[in-house]
Amino acid sequence: MSDAATVPTHCPYCALQCGMSLRPTGAPELPAEVVERTDFPVNRGALCGKGRTAPSVLSSRVRLTEPLVRCPDTGVLEPASWEEALAAVADGLRRTRADHGPDAVGVFGGGGLTNEKAYTLGKFARLVLGTSQIDYNGRFCMSSAAAAHQRAFGLDRGLPFPLEDIPRTGCVILVGSNLAETMPPALRYLTELKENGGRLIVVDPRRTRTAEQADLHLAPRPGTDLALALGMLHLVVAEGRVDEAFVEERTDGWAEARAGAMSHWPEQVERITGVSVPQLREAVAMFCDAENAMVLTARGPEQQSKGTDTVGAWINLCLATGRAGRPLSGYGCLTGQGNGQGGREHGQKADQLPGYRKLDDPAARAHVAGVWGVSPESLPGPGRSAYELLDALGGDVRALLLMGSNPVVSAPRAAHVEERLRSLDFLAVADVVLSETAELADVVLPVTQWAEETGTMTNLEGRVLLRRRALTPPGGVRSDLEVLHALAGLLGWEKGFPTDPEEVFEELRRASAGGPADYAGISYRRIEEERGVFWPCPDEEHAGTPRLFLDRFATADGRARFVPVVHRAAAEETDADYPVVLTTGRVVSQYQSGAQTRRVEELNAAAPGPFVELHPRLAERLGVAEGEALAVVSRRGRAVAPARITASIRPDTVFMPFHWYGEGRANTLVNPALDPVSRMPEFKVCAVRLERVAAAGLGA
């Protein structure tokens, strides 16, 4: 429990947003200690190692405490005053705009930014810079699930129900989520499900710590989840398990979706996926025998060049069996970043205005322009998606302001992205540490962190949370809101960019009012009193909406839409030159690009570097031993990391975590093929070959 000297807050990292309390210590090397906080229902006091050690990144030892400006003579980043640094940024952005037009200036944001920052960044891009070229790292995260949600239900909120519903359903199919490592405290919900007699099916090409918990583990070849879901739907139809009444009353488009599924015979699905027909049947029986059931997806099926259709196929399975829009049943996406949900609602996305409004909708433009006090015509149109924006750097986008992402490590085809970033006329990065991307910048702005500033976050359940400032930041740093306020001022916008988060939130409430993600009834006071408020919450009397779609879906006519989908291959298939599938993901002790967690001693000790996970049969064929350096080569490049041999992975697949820079950078290899709807890159499937480094060296 918290006492007077502690401040209740939430973890800086993932979308679970675990509750914790902080006790300030006054010591610059470790300014706060984590104290258990049990009153927040999502985690009830439990934290993973990243959360427990989060204050280490507040340390003056690892963080940035003064602005840096690249010296024109030496080419080195040198300490500078805030006035110099901000003037250099304003100058860089202004000059590019004058020489090449407003769309030559790009903005790249992040799903870890608070709602207030994401909102302000989007407003800054559209008003101050007048650019359409803004997107963010959430495009790399849950954008396929978001697009599928929109298509089927007319609204995208990751989970349409609170996590507390999971233990009370009858069966959960968890597709491509390694929850035990990516959201450890949430594993409790699956354990409780099983204690209550519910069944758990995990779909993952690896037998992960999460898959070990399952009653049934299906291990498809990466990139084949779409066929798997279609095969299950085929059996649902063949075995007469369609909920005809639900389909009739609450959905449209079943005939076409049914036809799509019927063309995928179980035997054919077995050939594509490697999942046997008896296993498919068992999964269908578990799912359909339960009175209520859920399908939850994460990055496994979503980060594919057909991620939107893949999620659509899982949603079709839910709709056909009546497992949507009813209590304790439904489809949900486990969003990833701290504010992965809120960060996609308030305007840092290329096609979007606050409140999850569409930038190309005249009514939406008029509403938001009204709140901003500008004419709707002055708002630019939709811009490029994240990878397309990064790919355009140095071409028609010549200056970039980046806040809350480290794409040099985390973007697909990373060597190319790094080269594009280097080719910019001007790069400004706001960060808390000197990330690999910040190292390339012309100006680095050191900003405050979670514990040092106030702001709201929307967790994976759609629950809006408040993190109150718990510590005084070091003198040399400023908040992202202060940075945007100052830059706006230097670029001629004296008003409209307040530095007080609550003032920003009050404006966000008005901007979102009447939109799909309606925050109008949410206030800081209510969030604190109610331990979070679920959107939509259109007015102060409204209780918020923990459970969506129970009476109607969010489409114009209230009916859900089946989407007709058929299987298609990954953008890059294996062949004689590149015979093995590479998939990528996470380990429990590192977070994302590692910019923060690689600076924490305890986490580095637990996960010191990259590795290539491969099956003993594949290792034997190559003659590679445990720990031996192994080169992984794709059409994009080559990465080297030690072999980690384990029977828990398919023999035709290797896995690399993506948290590191240098020769073990997984994203050097990844294929930037994009999903046509969500523009999500294919992080989870590409073709590679493996070479023993010693052997390759000798042979060359």
Ligand X SMILES: Nc1nc2c(c(=O)[nH]1)N[C@H]1C(S)=C(S)[C@@H](COP(=O)(O)OP(=O)(O)OC[C@H]3O[C@@H](n4cnc5c(=O)[nH]c(N)nc54)[C@H](O)[C@@H]3O)O[C@H]1N2
Backbone angles phi, psi at 82, to 5 degrees: -60, -40
Select from ligand SF4, Mo ion, ligand X, none the partner in contact with residue 18, using the beta carbon and a kind-dependent cut-off of 5 to 8 Å: ligand SF4
Question: CB of residue 598 vs ligand X: minimum separation in angstroms?
Answer: 10
Q: Does 18 bind ligand SF4 (CB under 6 A)?
A: yes
CB of 57 to ligand X, least distance (A): 8
Q: Tell me if 193 sits within 8 A of 179, measured CB to CB.
A: no
Q: From the list Mo ion, ligand X, ligand SF4, none, pick the one residue 176 interacts with, judged by a Cβ distance below 5 to 8 Å according to partner type.
A: ligand X
| CB-count burial class (<10 Å; 0-12, 13-18, 19+) for 103 | buried
Stretch that binds Mo ion, among 141-149, 150-158, 637-645, 666-674 (CB under 5 A): 141-149
User: Does 172 engage in binding with Mo ion (CB under 5 A)?
Assistant: no
Contact flag: residue 386 with Mo ion (CB under 5 A): no
In Å, what is the CA distance from 517 to each residue of 12, 192, 200, 357, 616? 23, 31, 31, 8, 48
Q: Measured between alpha carbons, how far is 191 from 197 in angstroms, rounded to an integer?
A: 10
What DSSP letter does each residue of 628-639 carry, written as one string? -EEEEE-SS-EE
**In the complex, least distance from residue 339 CB atom to ligand X, rounded to whole angstroms:** 9
Task: Give the orientation angle of helix 115-123 with respect to helix 501-512, to 10 degrees.
Answer: 70
- Name which position in 122, 184, 336, 672 contacts ligand SF4 (CB under 6 A): 184
296 binds Mo ion (CB under 5 A): no
Q: Which stretch binds ligand SF4 (CB under 6 A): 45-53, 65-73, 466-474, 624-632?
A: 45-53
Q: Which among ligand SF4, Mo ion, ligand X, none contacts residue 178 (Cβ within 5 to 8 A by kind)? A: ligand X
CA nearest neighbour of 642 among 664, 657, 662: 664
Q: For residue 514, how many C-alpha atoms fall within 13 Å in the half-sphere facing its CB?
A: 10
Candidate residues 16, 350, 427, 430; the one interacting with ligand SF4 per rule CB under 6 A:
16
Query: Using the rule CB under 6 A, is 683 a contact of ligand X?
Result: yes
Tell the smallest beta-carbon distance from residue 647 to ligand X (Å): 14
Q: Which does 321 bind (CB under 5 to 8 A by kind): ligand X, Mo ion, ligand SF4, none?
A: none
- Selected from 319, 421, 430, 639, the binder of ligand X by CB under 6 A is 430
Number of residues that bind ligand X (CB under 6 A): 64
Three-state secondary-structure class, residue 395: coil
Q: In terms of residues, how long is the chain?
A: 700
Pick one of 186, 203, 328, 614: the residue that binds ligand X (CB under 6 A).
203
CA angle 479–355–14, rounded 5-degree value? 55
In the chain, % helix, strand, coil (3-state, to 5) comes to: 35, 20, 45
Query: Which of 17, 273, 335, 479 forms a contact with ligand SF4 (CB under 6 A)?
Result: 17
Q: Is 141 in the site for Mo ion (CB under 5 A)?
A: yes
Contact between 14 and ligand SF4 by CB under 6 A: the answer reads yes
Output the CA torsion sign for 676, 681, 683, 686: positive
501 part of the interface to ligand X, by CB under 6 A: no
Residue type, 179: L
Angle between the 480-490 and 115-123 helix axes, to the nearest 10 degrees? Answer: 20
Check residue 341 for interaction with ligand X (CB under 6 A): no
Stretch that binds ligand SF4, among 47-55, 429-437, 642-650, 663-671 (CB under 6 A): 47-55
β-strand pairing of 463-467 with 455-458 = antiparallel
**Residue 414 main-chain phi, psi, to 5 deg:** -65, -30
Residues at the site binding Mo ion, with contacts judged by CB under 5 A: 141, 336-337
Residues that bind ligand X (CB under 6 A): 14, 110-113, 137, 140-141, 175-179, 181-183, 203-206, 208, 222-223, 225, 298-301, 303, 336-337, 403-407, 409-410, 430-433, 435, 447, 480, 583-586, 588, 590-593, 595-596, 655, 658, 666-667, 670, 683-685
